[in-house]
């Protein structure tokens, strides 16, 4: 897979993240961030190299690029009202997020 696939459109990552939480997050529709990285890397067919690539984040810390991309997707979903940010290390769908994710449940399979 080429680097361009690692940097898929933000909307693709956001929709996949919503779908994953919807399908795998149980009755409360939530997952820990660590529960999202590997399944979504598999979904997007990332290579081991792409999964392990590091880069500087906004604070200048050297971190995993894939995790940074998903964390940015999460933040965009929070700002749009699809994810709840009230608990640290919990990515939970809001009622609005449940409705949006329901649209993708038959499209994306994990």
Q: Is residue 65 a contact partner of residue 55, using CB atoms and an 8 Å limit?
A: yes
Give residue limits of the domains in the chain.
3-102
CA torsion angle for 58, 64, 68, 74 (degrees, to 10)?
Answer: -150
The structure's pTM equals 0.85
SS3 state at 54: strand
- The ranges of the chain with pLDDT < 70 are 1-8, 57, 105-110
CB atoms within 10 A of CB 65: 18
Q: Is residue 41 a contact partner of residue 66, using CB atoms and an 8 Å limit?
A: yes
User: What are the structure tokens assigned to 95, written together?
Assistant: 């009622």
Predicted pLDDT of residue 63? 87
User: What are the structure tokens assigned to 15, written together?
Assistant: 């929709």
SS3 state at 10: helix
Predicted pLDDT of residue 103? 84
Predicted pLDDT of residue 107? 55
Question: Which CATH number does 3-102 carry?
Answer: 1.10.10
DSSP state of 56: E
Predicted pLDDT of residue 56? 75
């Amino acid at each position: 897979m080429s680097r361009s696939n690692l940097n898929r459109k933000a909307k693709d990552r956001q929709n996949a993240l919503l779908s994953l939480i919807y399908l795998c997050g149980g009755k409360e529709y939530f997952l820990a961030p660590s529960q999202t990285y590997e399944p979504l890397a598999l979904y997007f067919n990332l290579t081991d190299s792409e999964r392990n690539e590091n880069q500087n984040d906004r604070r200048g810390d050297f971190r995993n690029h894939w995790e940074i991309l998903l964390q940015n997707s999460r933040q965009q979903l929070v700002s749009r009202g699809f994810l709840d940010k009230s608990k640290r290390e919990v990515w939970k769908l809001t009622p609005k997020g449940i409705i949006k994710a329901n649209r993708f449940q038959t499209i994306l399979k994990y």
